């Protein structure tokens, strides 16, 4: 997918929109937070990667997916009440 | 200055440090110095600013500069040839009291021209607990000897009154004396070699080259920053201590050729000694910045000039006296380091040119176990298990993280052989190996973590004691990157009466896993514990962060991991979507499994609605 790279998984396309680098699905305007536009799965971190994931039950694994192709765009470890981490790249 | 002379002087400065490090290691007798490389030697300019940073623990490069500057302020008019000054006060410059800085002026024809500085984690510092990591301390006053600056050597002569006073306040004074001697020797070598360099090229030429070297680093870093996109990146680290949850929040902003690290919103300072002082946080984010952004730039004051830090006073990243800090190096400093690694990696990921330099977090918890007690020779044995330097590598954008691969803040650290530890302490290893399924899943997998278990062996007192500073048991601290998962968290188990028989189960005196141990396994994470009788200590460190989408990992790589015992078949199917049959990838089942997992992703709610 053409565009200006802003992360390992996202680009800014010719229309100044943030887009999935894999399929081009857009996730809002360039320079703005994009995660609200993604699909989100929140599950306990406990067990998420196998038996050694003995995290406390309150710890969540957030996974942000592209709504177009299901690509995993980003992850976070988080407590439920903590906001999404926001990355803004100006290109 | 002609470029040839400049280049020769630059290389000579590197060699001065190399030779001083070799000297330090030759004189020192401790495993933490010789095996763990928990040390640093660097050169500083006459004003105390960093001239040439050496390898070793990188968060010390800038803190030792503050040590030099503090000595310059405190001893103005009383700094002579052959002097050596000591400071280990965390509220002056040091990271914690155990890491003593010895700084020495370098004179030429009576004029102060430079400083050398070094540190080691000394054998003991007289804190509540032997070895210096003092989990029961609630203030700096119970964390041992602390000096904002004292002259240890005057005109080349040891000040016996000072030395004896210090040694009178520590356990195993002969070992602490050896630590201090090793640092004095390193400074002596640095001074002599700098003297030879100046003799050959002249003081003015060397000073000119040093100034140019600092300017060059600033120019090169600013150029690199201009090549990277402007933006603002966030990272968050949690750690858990005795029911207390702390956060380190970092927002890193890059504008033009400048970087700002803003820790606003981080937790108030802790009751426990995981806090770090202002200069410790400052050094904490330079530890990943030097190797990730300045891998081809000399590490000196020029690198510092484009950088700014905001650290709220009274917070866990800028605590106020008398907050305890004895575990800062494996506490908040490590989280500052991790958060900075994540933000820098995200910035690099936003660049076509530099994306390959990005990495997920390595060794996020920096777990540490200190042991103390009488050894098999009835000698007082105090020291860290050097497994603390055997962290799991974070995945890169082009390769898996290295299993038990080390850490970023100390690129040349390593852990000792099992036999070295068994010769030092009255213990026997039951096993030590990489633990499967601990590396964060991803297109490139995080490095797997270490697990090991110890029992006492041949102890004249029936055992030994150990200190656990176990944050990172509730939270994964090695964050992933670009969709990679964080690594698995740490685990510590006190296995009571390992040889206890259980109904229907044979007692195995040589268990090779936690599951094979009999006796009750008690979860522990913080404090001082005994390793006595038939008890065992089990430790699992945290895995490295992964990079990229696990569903994008080549099935053949997953198969290789399963064959090598690094990933279980269950995780291969559940997380990577790779189905194994008869030891090989079932391509049809794998395609179907991955399609099912992608469909589930597309059925998830939109984040705005879920938030």
3-state secondary structure labels for all residues of B403-431 = CCCCCCCCCCCCCCCHHHHHHHCCEEEEE
Mutate to test the interface with B, among A2, A77, A84, A91 (most CBs of B within 10 A): A77
Query: Quick one: B92 and B174 in the same domain?
Result: yes
Q: Looking at chain B, which residue has its C-alpha nearest residue A80?
A: B611
Cα separation of B163 and B318, whole Å?
31
Backbone angles phi, psi at B205, to 5 degrees: -65, -45
The reported pLDDT for the residue numbered B507 is: 65
Cβ–Cβ contacts within 10 Å for residue B274, how many?
30
Q: Which of B523, B548, B573 finishes a domain?
A: B548
Residue B26, classed as helix, strand or coil, is helix
* Contact across the interface for B601 and A39, Cβ inside 8 Å: yes
Q: CA angle, corner B26, sides to B24 and B30, nearest 5?
A: 80
The reported pLDDT for the residue numbered B55 is: 82
In our burial notation (b when 16+ CB lie closer than 10 A, e otherwise), range B143-178 reads bbbbbbbbbbbeeeeebeebbeebbeebbbbebbbb
Query: Quick one: B40 and B68 in the same domain?
Result: yes
Q: Is residue B239 part of a domain?
A: no
H/E element, A90? strand A88-90
Nearest to B337 by CA among B91, B135, B58: B58
Residue B555, classed as helix, strand or coil, is helix
Query: Quick one: B23 and B133 in the same domain?
Result: yes
The reported pLDDT for the residue numbered B502 is: 59
Option in B397, B575, B607 nearest A36 (CB): B607
Is the bond preceding B322 in cis, omega lying within 30 degrees of 0?
A: yes
Q: Is residue B75 part of a domain?
A: yes
B42-B43-B45-B48 Cα dihedral, nearest 10 degrees: 30
Backbone angles phi, psi at B64, to 5 degrees: -65, -30
Which tens digits make up the pLDDT trace of B110-149? 999 999 999 999 999 999 999 999 999 999 999 999 999 9
Both tokens assigned to A2: 């053409």
Both tokens assigned to A55: 């995290």
DSSP E strands, B48-189: 50-52, 84-87, 99-108, 111-121, 150-154, 157-158
Query: Quick one: B44 and B136 in the same domain?
Result: yes
Mutate to test the interface with A, among B234, B262, B350 (most CBs of A within 10 A): B350
* Total number of domains constituting chain B: 3
* Contact across the interface for A67 and B482, Cβ inside 8 Å: no
B586 close to A (CB below 8 A): no
H/E element, A75? strand A72-79
| Cβ B111 vs Cβ B79: under 8 Å | no
Most distant pair of Cα atoms in chain A: their distance: 45
- Paired with B118 in beta bridges are B41, B102
Chain A residues touching residue B349 (CB < 8 angstroms): 5, 7-8
Q: Is residue B84 part of a domain?
A: yes
Query: Quick one: B436 and B449 in the same domain?
Result: yes
**Could you tell me the CA-to-CA distances from B489 to A17, B453, B492, B588 in Å, in that order?**
37, 17, 10, 34
Nearest to B221 by CA among B258, B262, B252: B258
* Contact across the interface for A90 and B233, Cβ inside 8 Å: no
CA of A43 vs chain B CAs: smallest distance (Å): 11
Give the helix, strand, coil percentages of chain B, each rounded to 5.
35, 25, 40
Residue B150, classed as helix, strand or coil, is strand
* Contact across the interface for B607 and A84, Cβ inside 8 Å: yes
- Distance from the Cα of residue B7 to its chain's centroid: 31
| Cβ B76 vs Cβ B453: under 8 Å | no
Q: Which of B149, B184, B219 finishes a domain?
A: B219
The reported pLDDT for the residue numbered B114 is: 98
Q: Is residue B568 part of a domain?
A: yes
Q: Sign of dihedral through CA atoms A28, A32, A33, A36?
A: negative
Residue A90 burial by Cβ neighbours in a 10 Å radius (0-12, 13-18, 19+): middle
B406 close to A (CB below 8 A): no
B351 close to A (CB below 8 A): yes
Q: Is residue B307 part of a domain?
A: no
* Contact across the interface for A52 and B491, Cβ inside 8 Å: yes
Residue B204 burial by Cβ neighbours in a 10 Å radius (0-12, 13-18, 19+): exposed
| Cβ B47 vs Cβ B72: under 8 Å | yes
Chain A residues touching residue B233 (CB < 8 angstroms): 87-88
Using the 8-state DSSP alphabet, how is residue B55 labeled?
Answer: S
Both tokens assigned to A70: 């299901």
Cα separation of B448 and B436, whole Å?
6
* Contact across the interface for A65 and B604, Cβ inside 8 Å: yes
Using the 8-state DSSP alphabet, how is residue B359 labeled?
Answer: B
Q: Which of B188, B219, B250 finishes a domain?
A: B219
Query: Quick one: B539 and B576 in the same domain?
Result: no
Cα separation of B64 and B68, whole Å?
6
- Residues in chain B with pLDDT < 50? none
Q: Is residue B513 part of a domain?
A: yes
Chain A residues touching residue B450 (CB < 8 angstroms): none
B565 close to A (CB below 8 A): no
* Contact across the interface for A8 and B547, Cβ inside 8 Å: yes
- Of how many residues is chain B composed? 611
Range of the domain at B428: 367-383+396-548
Q: Is residue B330 part of a domain?
A: no
Query: Quick one: B170 and B210 in the same domain?
Result: yes
* Contact across the interface for B231 and A88, Cβ inside 8 Å: yes
Cα separation of B26 and B15, whole Å?
16
pLDDT of chain A along its 91 residues, tens only? 679 999 999 999 999 999 999 999 999 999 999 999 999 999 999 999 999 999 999 999 999 999 999 999 999 999 999 999 999 999 9
Cα separation of B545 and B361, whole Å?
5
- Of how many residues is chain A composed? 91
Chain A residues touching residue B352 (CB < 8 angstroms): 5
Mutate to test the interface with A, among B524, B538, B607, B611 (most CBs of A within 10 A): B607
- Distance from the Cα of residue B568 to its chain's centroid: 29
- Could you write out the DSSP letters of every residue in B430-446? EEEEEETT-SPPSSBPP
* Contact across the interface for B491 and A54, Cβ inside 8 Å: yes
- Distance from the Cα of residue B85 to its chain's centroid: 25
| Cβ B361 vs Cβ B333: under 8 Å | no
B328 close to A (CB below 8 A): no
Q: Looking at chain B, which residue has its C-alpha nearest residue A6?
A: B350
Chain B residues touching residue A45 (CB < 8 angstroms): 476, 486
Query: Quick one: B432 and B533 in the same domain?
Result: yes
B529 close to A (CB below 8 A): no
Q: Is residue B442 part of a domain?
A: yes
Query: Quick one: B576 and B533 in the same domain?
Result: no
* Contact across the interface for A9 and B482, Cβ inside 8 Å: yes
- For chain B, helix (H) and strand (E) counts, in that order, are 14, 22
The reported pLDDT for the residue numbered A47 is: 98
H/E element, B465? strand B463-469
Nearest to B427 by CA among B540, B541, B536: B536
Beta-sheet pairing, A4-5 with A10-12:
antiparallel
CA of A24 vs chain B CAs: smallest distance (Å): 15
CA of A77 vs chain B CAs: smallest distance (Å): 7
Query: Quick one: B501 and B603 in the same domain?
Result: no
The reported pLDDT for the residue numbered B345 is: 98
CA of B309 vs chain A CAs: smallest distance (Å): 19
Residue B554, classed as helix, strand or coil, is coil
In our burial notation (b when 16+ CB lie closer than 10 A, e otherwise), range B78-116 reads ebeeebbbbbbbbbbbbbbbbbbbbbbbbbbeeebbbbb
Which tens digits make up the pLDDT trace of B457-501? 999 999 999 999 888 899 999 999 999 999 999 999 999 988 765
The reported pLDDT for the residue numbered B539 is: 97
Query: Quick one: B430 and B575 in the same domain?
Result: no
- Cβ neighbours for B72, distance < 8 A, ≥ 6 positions apart: B47, B48, B79
* Contact across the interface for A52 and B543, Cβ inside 8 Å: yes
Cα separation of B202 and B158, whole Å?
30
Query: Quick one: B123 and B62 in the same domain?
Result: yes
Both tokens assigned to B394: 């974070």
- Paired with B456 in beta bridges are B427
Option in A56, A75, A90 nearest B480 (CB): A75
């Amino acid at each position: 997918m053409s565009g200006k790279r802003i992360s390992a998984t996202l680009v800014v396309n010719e229309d100044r929109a943030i887009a999935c680098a894999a399929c081009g699905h857009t996730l809002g305007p360039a320079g703005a937070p994009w995660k609200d536009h993604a699909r989100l799965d929140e599950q306990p971190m406990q067990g998420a990667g196998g038996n050694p994931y003995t995290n406390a039950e309150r710890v969540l694994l957030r996974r942000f997916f592209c709504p177009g192709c299901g690509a995993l765009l980003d992850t976070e470890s988080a407590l439920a009440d903590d906001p999404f981490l926001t990355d803004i790249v100006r290109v | 200055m002609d470029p040839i002379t400049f280049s020769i002087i630059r290389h000579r400065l590197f060699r001065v440090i190399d030779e001083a490090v070799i000297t330090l290691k030759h004189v020192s007798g401790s495993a933490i110095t010789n095996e763990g490389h928990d040390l640093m030697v660097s050169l500083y300019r006459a004003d105390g600013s960093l001239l040439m940073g050496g390898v070793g623990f990188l968060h010390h490069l800038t803190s030792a500069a503050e040590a030099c500057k503090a000595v310059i302020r405190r001893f103005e008019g009383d700094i002579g040839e052959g002097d050596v000054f000591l400071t280990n006060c965390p509220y002056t410059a040091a990271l914690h009291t155990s890491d003593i800085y010895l700084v020495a002026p370098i004179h030429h024809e009576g004029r102060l021209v430079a400083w050398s500085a070094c540190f080691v984690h000394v054998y003991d510092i007289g804190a509540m607990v032997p070895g210096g990591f003092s989990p029961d301390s609630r203030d700096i006053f119970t964390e041992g000897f602390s000096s904002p600056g004292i002259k240890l050597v005057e005109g080349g002569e040891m000040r016996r009154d000072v030395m004896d006073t210090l040694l009178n306040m520590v356990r195993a004074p002969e070992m602490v004396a050896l630590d201090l001697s090793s640092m004095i020797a390193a400074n002596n070598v640095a001074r002599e070699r700098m003297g030879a360099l100046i003799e050959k090229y002249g003081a003015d030429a060397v000073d000119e080259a040093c100034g140019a070297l600092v300017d060059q680093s600033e120019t090169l870093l600013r150029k690199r920053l201009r090549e990277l996109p402007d933006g603002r990146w966030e990272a968050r680290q949690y750690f858990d201590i005795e029911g207390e949850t702390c956060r380190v929040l970092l927002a890193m902003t890059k504008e033009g050729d400048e970087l700002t690290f803003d820790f606003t919103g981080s937790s108030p300072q802790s009751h426990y000694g995981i806090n770090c002082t202002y200069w410790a946080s400052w050094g904490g984010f330079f530890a990943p910045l030097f190797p990730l952004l300045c891998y081809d730039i000399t590490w000196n004051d020029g690198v510092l000039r484009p950088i700014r830090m905001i650290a709220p006073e009274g917070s866990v990243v800028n605590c106020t006296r008398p907050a305890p800090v004895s575990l800062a190096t494996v506490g908040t400093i490590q989280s500052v380091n991790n958060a900075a690694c994540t933000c820098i990696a995200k910035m690099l990921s936003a660049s076509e040119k530099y994306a390959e330099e990005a990495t997920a977090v390595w060794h996020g918890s920096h777990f540490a176990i200190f042991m103390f007690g009488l050894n098999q020779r009835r000698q007082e044995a105090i020291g860290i298990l050097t497994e603390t330097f055997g962290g799991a590598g974070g995945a890169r954008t082009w390769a898996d993280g290295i299993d038990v691969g080390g850490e970023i803040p100390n690129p040349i650290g390593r852990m000792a052989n099992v036999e070295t530890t068994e010769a030092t302490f009255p213990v026997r290893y039951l096993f030590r190996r990489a633990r499967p399924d601990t590396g964060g899943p991803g297109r490139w997998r995080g490095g797997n973590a270490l697990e090991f278990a110890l029992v006492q062996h041949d102890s004249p007192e029936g055992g030994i004691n150990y200190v656990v500073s176990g944050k990172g048991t509730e939270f994964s601290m090695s964050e992933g990157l670009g969709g990679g998962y964080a690594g698995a968290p740490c685990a510590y188990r006190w296995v009571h009466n390992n040889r206890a028989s259980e109904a229907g189960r044979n007692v195995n005196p040589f268990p090779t896993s936690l599951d094979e141990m009999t006796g009750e396994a008690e979860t522990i994470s913080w404090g001082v514990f005994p390793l006595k009788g038939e008890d065992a200590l089990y430790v699992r460190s945290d895995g490295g962060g992964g990079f990229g989408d696990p569903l994008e990992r080549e099935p053949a790589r997953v198969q290789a991991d399963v064959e090598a015992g690094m990933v279980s078949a269950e995780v291969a199917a559940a997380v990577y979507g790779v189905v194994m049959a008869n030891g090989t990838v079932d391509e049809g089942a794998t395609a179907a499994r991955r399609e099912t997992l992608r469909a589930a992703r597309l059925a998830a709610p939109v984040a705005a609605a879920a938030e």
